[in-house]
C-alpha cells in the first residue's frame, strides 16, 4: 500500500476534523488513550528520550502508535499536523470548538472540556481531571510561537547530533529543533510550543493529556522527515553514546513490547510506519489532488467511474483530460503545457493547480486569480476538472474557459 499522507490540519474540512476528533474520543472512552499519557510520564520520570538523540525517533514511534490505534476503526485516517508558524492567521486555527477546542484553564468549551460530559479526563500526578491551556497567556512564559525563520535556522544545521548527545550539544539539528539552541531566545522550537500552550502541555510528563500534543509532534516529525530528505543516513550516534537507547542500533527506552530499534524508524515510508507528509510532494491517489499532491510526468488521475483520465503526458508534457466513453478516447480539455521541460503537476497550498518545469518554475496555473488556500482538484465523473475550496465551492472548472476542441 502506498504510504498514507499526513496533512496540515489547516487543509482538512470540518467533517474530516470531526472524524479525527471522534476517533480520539472513542479511543479515550475505550481506555486506550491513557497508555500514551502514562508512557510519556514514564519516559519523563526515567529521564530518557528528552534532551537526547532518540528524541526524534522516539516521538516518531509515539505518534505512529496513536495513528495505528485510530486506524483500527478508520483505516485511512492519519494524524494531522499543526504548523504553528502560521498560528497568527485565524483561518489556520486549531482551536475551533469542533476540533481541538479553545484555550482556558480549564477549557470550558468544545469536545475536550471536562464539563459537562466528563468525557476527556486528564490523568497524572500533577493534574485534575479538566484539560487546561493558556495559549500564550502564561506570565513568564513565551507569548509567541516559533516562526518560519526559526525553522530555517534549525534546517541550516547539517549534523544530526554530536557529543555530549544531550541538551548542550551545539550546532546540530536535533538540539535545535527540540529547542535547546536559541534561534531567537529560549525556550525555542518544540520546547517553546509546549510552554506557549501552558496548562497540561507544559507538564513535561503528562503533556499528552492535551490531544494537541500529537498535532505538535507530527509537525516536529514532519520537519525532521524533510531534513532527512536532504540529509540521508545522518542519524548519530552510531555507537559513540555510552547511554543505551540512543545509538542507531539500540532499542529505544520505554518501548519494551515490542522493542523498537532506532534504525528501523528512520524512513517514514518503512512498512511499520508507512506515511509521508503533504509537504513532501506525495503522488496523487484516487480522483482528488489534495494540497501538496503531485502528478509526475507520465502519471494520471482517474475519476471515480474510470471513464475520465487526467494525465501529465510522458510523451510531450501536456496536461490532458481524456474521455474514455468514446472510442478512440477523446481529449476534452488540455492545458497546452507541451514542453520537454514539463516535470510535475502540483496542487499548490495557495489553491492553484500548476504545471511546473524541472526547476519548479510555473509553466501554467489556474485559477489565475481568486484562488482559495487549501483548495483541492477533483476529476469528476462528469468529465470536468474542478478546483473546489474546503467548503466545496467551485473556484475554477475546466469548462469555464472555452473548451479545447482539438483532438490529441
Ligand atoms: Cu515527549
DSSP category for residue 278: G
Q: Are residues 235 and 87 in the same domain?
A: yes
Examine residue 78 and state whether it is found in any structural domain, yes or no. Answer: yes
pLDDT at 233: 95
**Cell 529521564, residue located:** 47
Residue 38 to residues 62, 209, 295, 348: CA-CA distances in angstroms? 12, 10, 42, 40
CATH of the domain at 232: 1.10.1280.10
Distance from residue 59's CA to the centre of ligand 1 (Å): 6
Q: Are residues 343 and 256 in the same domain?
A: no
Examine residue 402 and state whether it is found in any structural domain, yes or no. Answer: no
pLDDT at 132: 97
Distance from residue 50's CA to the centre of ligand 1 (Å): 6
261, three cell numbers? 530499534
Q: Are residues 335 and 276 in the same domain?
A: no
Distance from residue 165's CA to the centre of ligand 1 (Å): 17
Distance from residue 17's CA to the centre of ligand 1 (Å): 24
Examine residue 408 and state whether it is found in any structural domain, yes or no. Answer: no
Examine residue 387 and state whether it is found in any structural domain, yes or no. Answer: yes
Q: Are residues 302 and 259 in the same domain?
A: no
Q: Are residues 275 and 292 in the same domain?
A: no
Contacts of 265 (CB under 8 A, 6+ apart): 57, 60, 61, 64, 272, 273
DSSP category for residue 77: -
Examine residue 356 and state whether it is found in any structural domain, yes or no. Answer: yes
Q: Are residues 259 and 324 in the same domain?
A: no
Distance from residue 391's CA to the centre of ligand 1 (Å): 35
Domain final position from 252, 280, 308: 280
Total length of the chain: 408
Domain final position from 280, 296, 321: 280
Q: Are residues 29 and 139 in the same domain?
A: yes
CATH of the domain at 292: 2.90.10.10
Coil, strand or helix at 66: helix
Q: Do residues 278 and 292 lie in contact, with contact meaning Cβ atoms separated by under 8 Å?
A: yes
404, three cell numbers? 479545447
Distance from residue 109's CA to the centre of ligand 1 (Å): 26
Distance from residue 217's CA to the centre of ligand 1 (Å): 8
Distance from residue 189's CA to the centre of ligand 1 (Å): 13
pLDDT at 90: 63
Q: Are residues 327 and 368 in the same domain?
A: yes
Q: Do residues 124 and 203 lie in contact, with contact meaning Cβ atoms separated by under 8 Å?
A: yes
Distance from residue 55's CA to the centre of ligand 1 (Å): 7
Our measurement of the distance from residue 242's CA atom to the centroid of its chain's CA atoms, rounded to an integer in Å, reads 33
Residue-number span of the structural domain to which 332 is assigned? 288-397
Q: Are residues 337 and 211 in the same domain?
A: no
Distance from residue 208's CA to the centre of ligand 1 (Å): 8
Distance from residue 380's CA to the centre of ligand 1 (Å): 43
Note the pTM of the prediction, 2 decimals.
0.95
Q: Are residues 210 and 254 in the same domain?
A: yes
Distance from residue 303's CA to the centre of ligand 1 (Å): 42
Q: Are residues 169 and 292 in the same domain?
A: no
Counting the structural domains of the chain, the total is 2
Distance from residue 185's CA to the centre of ligand 1 (Å): 21
Query: Distance (Å, rounded) from C-alpha 127 to C-alpha 131?
Result: 9
Q: Are residues 63 and 189 in the same domain?
A: yes
Distance from residue 206's CA to the centre of ligand 1 (Å): 9
Alpha-carbon dihedral sign for residues 107, 212, 69, 263: negative
Examine residue 152 and state whether it is found in any structural domain, yes or no. Answer: yes
Examine residue 140 and state whether it is found in any structural domain, yes or no. Answer: yes
Distance from residue 225's CA to the centre of ligand 1 (Å): 17
Examine residue 406 and state whether it is found in any structural domain, yes or no. Answer: no
Domain final position from 229, 249, 280: 280
Reading the chain (408 residues) residue by residue, the pLDDT tens digits are 889 999 999 999 999 999 999 999 999 999 999 999 999 999 999 999 999 999 999 999 999 999 999 999 999 999 999 999 987 666 668 999 999 999 999 999 999 999 999 999 999 998 999 999 999 999 999 999 999 999 999 999 999 999 999 999 999 999 999 999 988 888 999 999 999 999 999 999 999 999 999 999 999 999 999 999 999 999 999 999 989 999 999 999 999 999 999 999 999 999 899 999 999 999 999 999 999 999 999 999 999 999 999 999 999 999 999 999 999 999 999 999 999 999 999 999 999 999 999 999 999 999 999 999 999 999 999 999 999 999 999 999 998 755 454 433
**Cell 498514507, residue located:** 4
Number of Cβ within a 10 Å radius of residue 69 = 18
Query: Distance (Å, rounded) from C-alpha 245 to C-alpha 254?
Result: 9
Amino acid at each position: 500500500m502506498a504510504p498514507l499522507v499526513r496533512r496540515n490540519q489547516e487543509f482538512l474540512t470540518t467533517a474530516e476534523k470531526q472524524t479525527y476528533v471522534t476517533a480520539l474520543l472513542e479511543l479515550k472512552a475505550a481506555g486506550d488513550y491513557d497508555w500514551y499519557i502514562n508512557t510519556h510520564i514514564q519516559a519523563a520520570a526515567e529521564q530518557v528520550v528528552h534532551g537526547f538523540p532518540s528524541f526524534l525517533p522516539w516521538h516518531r514511534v509515539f505518534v505512529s502508535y496513536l495513528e495505528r490505534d485510530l486506524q483500527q476503526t478508520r483505516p485511512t485516517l492519519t494524524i494531522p499536523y499543526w504548523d504553528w508558524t502560521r498560528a497568527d492567521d485565524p483561518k489556520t486555527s486549531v482551536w475551533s470548538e469542533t476540533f481541538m477546542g479553545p484555550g482556558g484553564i480549564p477549557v470550558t468549551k468544545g469536545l475536550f472540556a471536562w464539563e459537562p460530559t466528563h468525557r476527556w479526563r486528564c490523568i497524572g500526578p500533577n493534574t485534575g481531571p479538566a484539560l487546561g491551556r493558556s495559549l500564550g497567556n502564561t506570565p513568564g512564559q513565551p507569548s509567541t510561537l516559533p516562526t518560519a525563520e526559526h525553522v530555517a535556522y534549525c534546517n541550516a544545521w547539517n549534523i544530526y547530533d554530536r557529543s555530549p548527545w544531550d541538551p548542550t550539544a551545539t550546532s546540530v539539528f536535533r538540539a535545535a529543533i527540540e529547542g535547546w539552541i536559541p534561534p531567537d531566545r529560549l525556550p525555542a522550537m518544540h520546547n517553546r510550543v509546549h510552554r506557549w500552550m501552558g496548562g497540561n502541555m507544559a507538564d513535561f510528563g503528562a503533556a499528552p493529556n492535551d490531544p494537541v500534543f500529537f498535532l505538535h509532534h507530527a509537525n516536529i516529525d514532519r520537519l525532521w522527515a524533510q531534513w532527512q530528505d536532504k540529509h540521508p543516513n545522518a542519524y548519530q550516534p552510531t555507537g559513540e553514546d555510552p547511554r543505551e537507547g540512543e545509538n542507531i542500533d539500540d532499542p529505544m527506552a520505554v518501548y519494551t513490547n515490542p522493542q523498537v530499534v532506532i534504525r528501523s524508524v528512520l524512513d517514514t515510508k518503512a512498512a511499520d510506519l508507512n506515511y509521508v507528509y503533504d509537504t513532501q510532494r506525495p503522488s496523487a491517489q484516487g480522483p482528488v489532488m489534495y494540497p501538496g499532491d503531485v502528478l509526475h510526468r507520465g502519471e494520471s488521475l482517474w475519476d471515480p467511474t474510470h471513464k475520465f483520465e487526467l494525465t501529465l503526458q510522458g510523451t510531450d508534457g501536456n496536461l490532458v483530460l481524456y474521455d474514455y466513453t468514446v472510442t478512440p478516447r477523446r481529449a476534452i480539455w488540455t492545458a497546452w503545457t507541451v514542453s520537454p521541460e514539463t516535470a510535475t503537476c502540483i496542487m499548490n497550498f495557495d489553491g492553484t493547480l500548476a504545471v511546473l518545469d524541472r526547476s519548479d518554475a510555473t509553466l501554467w496555473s489556474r485559477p489565475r486569480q481568486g484562488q482559495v488556500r487549501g483548495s483541492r482538484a477533483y476529476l469528476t465523473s462528469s468529465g470536468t476538472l474542478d478546483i473546489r475550496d474546503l467548503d466545496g465551492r467551485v473556484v475554477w472548472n475546466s469548462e469555464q474557459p472555452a473548451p479545447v476542441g482539438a483532438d490529441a
